[in-house]
Amino acid sequence: MIKAFLLAWVLVFSLQGAPWREMKSFTLKKDEVVKILIKTVSPKKERIFLWRWTLYTDKALVVHESFDKFVGQHILYVGRNDSFRKPFLPAFKSEQDIPYALVVFKKFDDKNQTAQFDFLLIDKEKRVLVDYLMKEDKK
């Protein structure tokens, strides 16, 4: 009986799929900017989320990000402390429904001097839409 319950529990959670609603990968050279337009459903508003990396040394990547004119800096390592989270809206009903992005540093290519990232959008209530704008070189 317990085994059947555990098997059913594992099947239910495995069928729910990934926790993110959307995923996109980026490969960036130093100071290349990823620009993403964040559209909120209610209230209707458009805001820009962007990030870029500026330094890779001692297996640490320095990443700068900006959202709504608020800036941040993160030091990411592959395998541990490899991501940062950016909330897009406040909680609606509970802390579980906050839409946010998770930017994950996947690897650094020494030969090409590029960093690979995954952008994951977690938004269970479907409160935001994203448009991927062209990544552009910082001038």
**pLDDT tens for residues 65-115?**
999 889 999 999 998 899 999 999 887 676 677 899 999 999 999 999 999
User: Measured between alpha carbons, how far is 13 from 92 in angstroms, rounded to an integer?
Assistant: 24
What's the sign of the alpha-carbon dihedral 89, 99, 105, 24?
Answer: negative
Top pLDDT among 48 and 2 is at 48
Radius of gyration over every alpha carbon of the chain, rounded to an integer in angstroms: 18
The domains of the chain are located at 19-137
In this structure, are residues 85 and 111 in contact, taking their beta carbons and an 8 Å threshold?
no
In this structure, are residues 118 and 107 in contact, taking their beta carbons and an 8 Å threshold?
no
Model pTM score: 0.79
**pLDDT tens for residues 18-36?**
677 889 999 999 999 999 9
